[in-house]
């Protein structure tokens, strides 16, 4: 029986041409590099002929697109496959499809059939299209409104086709985003991203340093900065200079007099009258009038913040509290988004600075997260005891010690990591790591991350995306 | 918590409050119980709402109680002394509410937390 949603889609398809329709949504796939390497190793091995398999994915729904978050790879075993004489896949067993679908739907996931012809500018063959028409109407009826479909990988590009409720979905395949030391886009064939290159005159010197492809990648990048005060305001300033295309500053606070000692871009006239996100906007737009600012005047994890963060390529957290860091850490794991976290603790004996210990951490999906080692249960529990619910709203709560120039050091290193994630300028010299800062002597030391914690509660939620 | 113990706890919560299901995110995690039909006094809006109860350290410690972030009192404010926390992919509101905890009855523990909504409207 046809569902109302499916009927609606059929009616829209039958609309006379020229009739105004809503803009089509996009479907992207986000995948951790290690898993993508596993997929490619299988489908690009043509020793026996074509290979294929299913990616099991959860969903992240945004206003204008759906992002599938790859969690698991199920290659179709050779004994399940029958091939044509030319090596192309003829069929595989219905039992494999049934098991894969049961596994996916049982955990709130969907399936993406992946294969490759080993060529650039991939295109589904008549045989692929025939298989799709036989397979996906039925599978998608079982999956309901969760998109399910097929993807053909090329060499740095891809094509995809998706179904919902038994019908082709109103979803244009956008790109595969591979999240690793460098964020890599495999755009849809025909997309404007393919082979894109630009050099903005204002970034000419930067392009001389890190290459002509960097500018386009920076222009495409969407970076969220949570907390745009002491540390975050430096980051906003540098990312705007760097040519990031879209900045998402997030903060719910008003500028106070005590912020003037460290809030880059703030003016005396802003005190008690201007929100910190407005200062961020003014600062960034003053540097680059073409930058897109999508400010959110709210606090993590309010719904508006969650919605904004889901669209980011990189999230920089500049927050005071460990439990907020932990929430952002879990969010980044669930949505397979790289997180860069900065923080510094200054201690004084009342007369002079006794210690200035800071950190900048780059945390990537598939690698150790902040909860694996830094945000220990004991640390979080101690903070809960000292900062019970509502503590931050208490105007008598003492402020944290801060020095603008020490914040700047950590912020600059964080911006180097954003630049590396987006452009790969370091040639994998930076990777996911921990930078320790000792502010009195002015020492910055890079450390590899410790091992992943097997029972890490945050990593257990990796790739889960939206709730439910 | 053992599987049988968790199942018994969920069944008791469900009998007492109408809905309860296990939403524990991973096998090694403390039991997370989602209650989707929690009834609050009329002063609260919405007064039919969701709560998430995390049975960490149970029964030596009272469970952690989180309420849907939309809940507001008569003045339009959420429960006093609150924070938003990110759990299971969304924001939930936790709030301060002191009560002595001795016992091992999960229904009583949830009732105690819900008393917070009876004592005042915000």
Task: Let me know: does A142 contact A104? Beta carbons within 8 Å.
Answer: no
Which chain A residue has the Cα nearest residue B83?
A: A389
Could B69 and A302 be called an inter-chain contact, meaning their C-beta atoms sit closer than 8 Å? yes
Among B26, B28, B89, the residue with its CB nearest the CB of A466 is B89
User: Residue A18: pLDDT above 50?
Assistant: no
d(CA A287, CA A280): 11
Could A392 and B94 be called an inter-chain contact, meaning their C-beta atoms sit closer than 8 Å? no
d(CA A225, CA A249): 5
Task: Let me know: does A340 contact A418? Beta carbons within 8 Å.
Answer: yes
Among A303, A389, A457, the residue with its CB nearest the CB of B81 is A389
User: Residue B12: pLDDT above 70?
Assistant: yes
What confidence tens digit (pLDDT) does each residue in A75-95 have?
999 999 988 888 887 789 999
Could A460 and B88 be called an inter-chain contact, meaning their C-beta atoms sit closer than 8 Å? no
What confidence tens digit (pLDDT) does each residue in B40-97 have?
999 999 999 999 999 999 999 999 999 999 999 999 999 999 999 999 999 999 999 8
Question: What is the per-residue DSSP string for A21-83?
Answer: -PPPEEEEEEEEHHHHHHHHHHHT--SSS--EEEEEEEEEE-SSEEEEEEEEEEEPPGGGEEE
% chain A with pLDDT above 90:
84
- Set of chain A residues whose Cβ sits within 8 Å of the Cβ of B91: 301-303, 306
Among B26, B83, B91, the residue with its CB nearest the CB of A306 is B91
pLDDT of residue A389: 86
Report the C-alpha dihedral over residues A66, A226, A447, A70, rounded to 10 degrees: -10
Among B69, B84, B90, the residue with its CB nearest the CB of A467 is B90
What confidence tens digit (pLDDT) does each residue in A325-353 have?
999 999 999 999 999 999 999 999 989 99
Task: Kindly indicate the confidence band of residue A15, based on its pLDDT and cuts at 50, 70 and 90.
Answer: very low
Nearest to A221 by CA among A187, A192, A202, A248: A248
**Does A378 touch chain B if contact means CB atoms closer than 8 Å?**
no
Mean pLDDT of A270-275: 98
- Set of chain B residues whose Cβ sits within 8 Å of the Cβ of A327: 85-86
Among B28, B90, B95, the residue with its CB nearest the CB of A306 is B90
Which two structure tokens, joined as six digits, stand for A219?
Answer: 């222009």
Could B96 and A461 be called an inter-chain contact, meaning their C-beta atoms sit closer than 8 Å? no
**Does A301 touch chain B if contact means CB atoms closer than 8 Å?**
yes
What confidence tens digit (pLDDT) does each residue in A384-443 have?
888 888 887 777 777 889 999 999 999 999 999 999 999 999 999 999 999 999 999 999
Spatial neighbors of A142 by CB under 8 A, at least 6 apart, are: A101, A105
Taking all residues of chain A, what is their mean pLDDT, rounded to a whole number? 92
Task: Let me know: does A167 contact A142? Beta carbons within 8 Å.
Answer: no
Could A300 and B28 be called an inter-chain contact, meaning their C-beta atoms sit closer than 8 Å? no
pLDDT of residue A14: 47
Task: Kindly indicate the confidence band of residue A17, based on its pLDDT and cuts at 50, 70 and 90.
Answer: very low
User: Residue A4: pLDDT above 60?
Assistant: no
d(CA A140, CA A125): 21
Which chain B residue has the Cα nearest residue A303?
A: B91
Neighbours of A312 (CB within 10 A): 24
User: Residue A20: pLDDT above 60?
Assistant: no
Could A457 and B82 be called an inter-chain contact, meaning their C-beta atoms sit closer than 8 Å? no
Task: Kindly indicate the confidence band of residue B14, based on its pLDDT and cuts at 50, 70 and 90.
Answer: very high
What confidence tens digit (pLDDT) does each residue in B93-102 have?
999 988 888 8
**Does A169 touch chain B if contact means CB atoms closer than 8 Å?**
no
Could B91 and A301 be called an inter-chain contact, meaning their C-beta atoms sit closer than 8 Å? yes
Residues of B with CB under 8 A from a CB of A: 25-26, 28-29, 69, 80-86, 88-91, 94-96
What confidence tens digit (pLDDT) does each residue in A171-222 have?
999 999 999 999 999 999 987 665 567 789 999 999 999 998 899 999 999 9
Among A455, A457, A467, the residue with its CB nearest the CB of B89 is A467
Higher pLDDT, A20 or A379: A379
Rg of chain B on CA atoms, in Å: 14
pLDDT of residue B26: 84
pLDDT of residue A275: 98
Interface pTM, i.e. ipTM: 0.91
């Amino acid at each position: 029986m046809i569902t109302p949603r499916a009927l609606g889609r059929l009616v829209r398809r039958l609309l006379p041409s020229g009739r105004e329709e809503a803009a089509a949504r996009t479907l992207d796939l986000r995948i951790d590099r290690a898993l993508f390497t596993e997929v490619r190793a299988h489908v690009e091995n043509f020793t026996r002929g074509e290979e294929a398999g299913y990616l099991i994915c959860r969903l992240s729904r945004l206003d204008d697109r759906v992002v599938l978050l790859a969690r698991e790879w199920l290659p179709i075993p050779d004994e399940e496959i029958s091939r044509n004489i030319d090596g192309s896949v003829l069929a595989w067993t219905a039992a494999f499809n049934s098991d894969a679908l049961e596994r996916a739907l049982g955990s709130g996931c969907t399936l993406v059939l992946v294969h490759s012809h080993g060529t650039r500018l991939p295109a589904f063959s008549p045989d692929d299209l025939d298989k799709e028409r036989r397979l996906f109407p039925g599978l998608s009826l079982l999956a309901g409104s969760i998109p399910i479909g097929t993807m053909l990988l090329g060499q740095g590009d891809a094509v995809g086709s998706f179904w919902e409720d038994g019908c082709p979905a109103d979803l244009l395949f956008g790109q595969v985003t591979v999240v690793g030391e460098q964020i890599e886009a495999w755009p849809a064939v025909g997309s404007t991203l393919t082979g894109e290159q630009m050099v903005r005159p204002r970034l000419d010197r930067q392009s001389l340093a890190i290459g002509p492809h960097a500018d386009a990648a920076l222009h495409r990048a969407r970076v969220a900065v949570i907390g745009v005060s002491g540390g975050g305001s430096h980051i906003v300033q540098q990312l705007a200079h760097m040519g990031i295309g879209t900045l998402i500053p997030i903060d719910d606070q008003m500028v106070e007099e005590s912020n003037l000692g460290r809030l880059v871009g703030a003016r005396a006239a802003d005190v008690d009258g201007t929100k910190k996100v407005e200062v961020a906007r003014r600062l960034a737009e003053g540097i680059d009038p073409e930058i897109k600012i999508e400010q959110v005047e709210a606090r993590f994890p309010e719904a508006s913040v969650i919605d904004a963060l889901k669209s980011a390529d990189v999230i920089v957290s500049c927050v005071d509290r460990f439990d907020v860091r932990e929430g952002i850490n879990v969010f980044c794991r669930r949505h397979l988004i790289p997180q860069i976290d900065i923080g510094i603790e200054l201690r004084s004996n009342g007369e002079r600075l006794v210690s200035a210990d800071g950190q900048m951490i780059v945390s990537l999906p598939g690698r150790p997260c902040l909860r694996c080692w830094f945000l220990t249960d004991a640390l979080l529990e101690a903070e809960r005891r000292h900062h019970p619910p509502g503590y931050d709203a208490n105007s008598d709560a003492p402020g944290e010690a801060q020095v603008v120039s020490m914040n700047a050091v950590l912020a600059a290193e964080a911006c180097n990591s954003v630049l590396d994630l987006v452009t790969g300028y370091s040639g994998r010299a930076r990777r996911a790591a921990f930078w320790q800062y000792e502010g009195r002597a002015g020492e910055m030391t890079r450390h590899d991350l410790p091992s992943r914690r097997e029972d890490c509660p945050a990593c257990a939620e990796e790739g889960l995306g939206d709730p439910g | 918590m053992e599987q049988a113990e968790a199942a018994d706890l969920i069944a008791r919560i469900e009998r007492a409050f109408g809905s309860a299901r296990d939403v524990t995110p991973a096998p090694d995690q403390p039991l997370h119980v989602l209650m989707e039909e929690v009834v609050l006094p009329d002063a609260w809006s919405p007064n039919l709402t969701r709560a998430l109860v995390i049975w960490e350290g149970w029964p030596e410690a009272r469970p952690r109680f989180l309420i849907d972030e939309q809940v507001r009192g008569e003045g339009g404010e959420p429960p006093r002394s609150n924070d938003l926390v990110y759990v299971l992919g969304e924001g939930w509101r936790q709030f301060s509410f002191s009560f002595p905890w001795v016992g091992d009855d999960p229904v009583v523990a949830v009732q105690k937390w819900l008393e917070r909504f009876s004592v005042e409207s915000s």
